[in-house]
Amino acid sequence: MSITITDIEAAAERIAGDVLHTPTVAAPGLSRVLGCDLRLKLESLQLTGSFKVRGARNRFSTIDPDTTNGVIACSAGNHAQGVACFAERMGIAATIVMPRDTPFAKVEATERYGARVILEGATLAEAQVHTEKLIAAEDLTFIHPYDDDMIIAGQGTAGLEMIADAPDLDCVIIPIGGGGLIAGCAVAMKHHKPDLEIIGVEAASYATMNAAITGREVTSRGATLAEGIAVKTPGTRTLPIVRELVDDIVVLEEAAIENAVELLTDTGRLVAEGAGAAPLGVVMENRERFAGRKVGLMISGGNIDMRIFASVLLRGLVRGGQMVRLRVQISDSPGQLAAVSGLIGDAGGNIVEIVHQRMFYDVPVKHTDIDVVVETRNAAHAAEIVACLEAAHLPTRLLSDVTGISTS
C-alpha cells in the first residue's frame, strides 16, 4: 500500500494544534432505538464542519508560500473550505472551482475564507475540466480532494483518534466518496485492531467504489442529498487500500439517507449533512446485522444547506403523522368551517393552514372541500382526528402519505 501507519502518525503530529481532535461520543437515544451501542465520531464539529481540513492541512505542509503562484481545488464544498481555510492562514491565494448547483451555504462559507470561487459546469466532472484549464493558464498548485498520499494520510488521523477513544468497537461505518477518508482510516484502525470490521457506505446514485471493487459498471447520475460523496470515479490510490482493508460496502437509497438525517437530528440531537448521516442510515436499514454490537459511526460533516435541512425535517413530520393534510367536505353554509375547526381543536390537533376548494367540478355546488394542514402528536393521533370528523358526518380524506392511518 502507498500509505502506512507511519505516514498517518506523522500527519497527526503535523496537524496537531491546527485541527481539532473531535470527540467520539456515546449516543444513548439512538442506541436504544436501533438496538446497538453506537459511538459517533463528530467530524461535524471541525472548524470548517468537515473532516476535510485534516487532509488539507497535511497537504499544505508540502507547499512553500514563497514559491507557489497559488493553490486550486475542484470541490462541491467541504474540500473547498478546508483548502481555503489553510490557504488563508498561510497567506496563499486560493481558487476553488465548484459546480453551478453547489449549495449556497458551501459557496458562501468558502468565500468567507478569502478564496476566489468560480462556479463552472453542471457536474463536478465539468468543473474539473475548467480547473485543469486554470492550472495550465495560471501555473497553480492543484490539491486533489482524495487521490493524494498526503490527503489520505491526513484523513486517516480521524480513524487514529477514533480507535484510541473507543478501542472496544466491533465495527465502524465510514462514508465513501473518492475514498480518501475510509482508506486513511482503514490503515490506521486496522493497524491497531486488525479484527475490526470496517464498512463503507455510498449513495446509490454514486456507488462507484462498490462497482470498481465488484467489477460492475455503474452510471453515476442525478442529484443526491449526500452530495459530499457524489463522486463519479474512485481514486486510483484509494481503491487498492479499500479493496484490501474494507470488509464491506453498503449502498443506500435516497430515502434511507434522508431518514438518517432526520433521525440523527430528532433523536440524536445532532445536525449532519447527507454524507455525514449515511453511516447511521446503514444501521437503520440493517438492524439485525448490528444488534447488540458496539458500532462506530464516522459523522464526516455537518454542512447541510439549511433550506434542504428544513425540508427534510418537515417531510419527516409528514412521514411520522405529526403533520397531516386532510380534505374535509362540508356544506357551503355559515358555521361549518368553525365546526370543523372546533372538532379538530377538541381532538387536540393544531391547525396550521386551511384552503377552500370550491371551484373544482368534482365538488357538489352546495358543498365545498377544505384542505386542512394539522399538527398532531403522531400517526395514531392523526387517525383519531379523522375518526372524530367522520363521526360528525364530515367526509374526510387523508392527503398525506402517512403509514398506519386509515383513510377509508
- What type of residue is 18? D
Determine the angle formed by the axes of helices 379-391 and 336-346, rounding to 10 degrees. Answer: 140
137: Cβ contacts below 8 Å, ≥ 6 apart: none
Cα–Cα separations (whole angstroms), residue 350 to 36, 267, 344, 377: 36, 23, 7, 10
User: Can you read off the three cell numbers belonging to residue 120?
Assistant: 463552472
- What type of residue is 182? I
Based on the residue annotation, tell me whether 300 is a catalytic residue of this protein: yes
The catalytically annotated residue of 52, 75, 106, 400 is: 52
- Strands 197-203, 248-252: parallel, antiparallel or unpaired by DSSP? parallel
The catalytically annotated residue of 31, 50, 205, 300 is: 300
Based on the residue annotation, tell me whether 52 is a catalytic residue of this protein: yes
Buried b (16+ CB within 10 A) or exposed e, 378-391: ebebbbbbbebbee
**Distance from C-alpha of 52 to C-alpha of 228, rounded to nearest angstrom:** 11
Compute the 3-state secondary structure of the chain and give helix, strand, coil in percent, each to the nearest 5. Answer: 45, 20, 35
End-to-end CA distance of the chain: 62
Whether residue 279 contacts residue 229, with contact meaning beta carbons closer than 8 Å, is answered with: no
Compute how many other C-beta atoms are within 10 angstroms of the C-beta atom of residue 5: 16
**Distance from C-alpha of 313 to C-alpha of 224, rounded to nearest angstrom:** 16
- What type of residue is 7? D
**Distance from C-alpha of 216 to C-alpha of 252, rounded to nearest angstrom:** 17
**Distance from C-alpha of 277 to C-alpha of 275, rounded to nearest angstrom:** 6
**Distance from C-alpha of 256 to C-alpha of 118, rounded to nearest angstrom:** 32
307 backbone dihedrals φ, ψ, rounded to 5°: -70, -40
**Distance from C-alpha of 54 to C-alpha of 232, rounded to nearest angstrom:** 23
Whether residue 303 contacts residue 77, with contact meaning beta carbons closer than 8 Å, is answered with: yes
Q: Which of the residues are catalytic?
A: 52, 300
